[in-house]
Copies of this chain bind each other. A is one copy, B any other.
């Protein structure tokens, strides 16, 4: 594919400065780009490289020095780069239909332009939207549903009656709708509480590899639209994850916890059950959240405290042995002083 700068500027909603008929057929970094490629400046630190890059054109933010290069000016060059990656590198879907070796159950509704690979299993009563791709080893239990433009990668499992929205991507090995972890002690051991609820994944969600999202005990475990979930994350039964959250790898969220919109949980965070985290709040990597957190905050530590406090406290931790010694020495000195005064 080859595009003129004029075409690309239109695609990006930006404007060209320089030769708008110049042609581009790929992207690369400021350092690596050559003739016929476009690059971008996202970090002002590298502004000087705009002068020396061999790229045919540079995507710049408003006001940046063009050094006489062909430029597409956009508000957010990093986003523009992502969009051009999509334009140049993401191949349009070529539907292959239901391939031999796929299993389709009874009473299944299948949209247009789907691809169901050999070894995918579609249970009875499943509904698939348009342009759905099910890779080998995908298993949809009875009554599951999937919206339009969805990709379920190899070996994804979606359990009975769970609902996946449109434009959702689920990576390999992920399990949607496994039973929540619920038992009642019965005097001899643990009596299983049937988990008869479901999972609902709204539109535009992406879920990484080997994630586990448990079905609700009675109602719904809900992942709201636009949320992105990284690999190996655990989301327990009855959680509600707000819109556009970022749940980084190996996070664990306990049962019935609710996240507001645009919450970020960094890697390996653990969140206790039955609590709420307000919108836009960020929790630092490896933190443990034992109680509610307000909106618009930044928290870290085990237990999580405001991030600035945690930075200050954690810096002191390595001084503890020396503080211990100082404290002991002070006790001795004050005792001596007291003795002296008493003797006077």
Contacts and interface: CB of A to CB of B under 8 A. Distances in A.
Interface of A: 29, 76, 78-79, 81-83, 85-86, 89-90, 101, 103, 117-119, 121, 135-137, 139, 141, 153-155, 157, 159, 169, 171-175, 178-179, 181, 183-186, 188-194, 196, 204, 206, 208-212, 214, 218, 225-226, 228, 230-232, 234, 236, 243-244, 246, 248-250, 252, 254, 267-268, 270, 272, 285-286, 288, 290, 301-303, 305, 309-310, 312-321, 323-324, 326-327, 330-331, 333-334, 337-338, 340-341
A90 B175 contact: no
The 7 closest A-B pairs by CB, nearest first: A139-B154, A212-B231, A157-B172, A189-B226, A121-B136, A178-B209, A175-B209
7 contacts: A119-B137, A135-B139, A169-B179, A173-B175, A181-B248, A189-B225, A252-B268
Nearest to A217: B85
A341 B338 contact: no
Contacts of A136: 103, 121, 139
A191 to B, nearest CB: 5
Given A157-B153, A288-B285, A317-B301, A232 B230 contact: no
Contacts of A337: 334, 337-338, 341
A103 B103 contact: no
A323 B321 contact: no
Nearest to A195: B85
A220 to B, nearest CB: 14
A324 B334 contact: no
A184 B74 CA distance: 14
Contacts of A244: 189-190
A268 B268 contact: yes
Contacts of A226: 188-190
B313 A320 contact: yes
A255 to B, nearest CB: 10
Given A171-B175, A302-B302, 17 more contacts: A81-B193, A86-B194, A119-B139, A139-B154, A159-B172, A172-B178, A178-B231, A181-B208, A212-B232, A250-B252, A270-B285, A286-B288, A302-B314, A309-B321, A316-B321, A323-B324, A337-B338
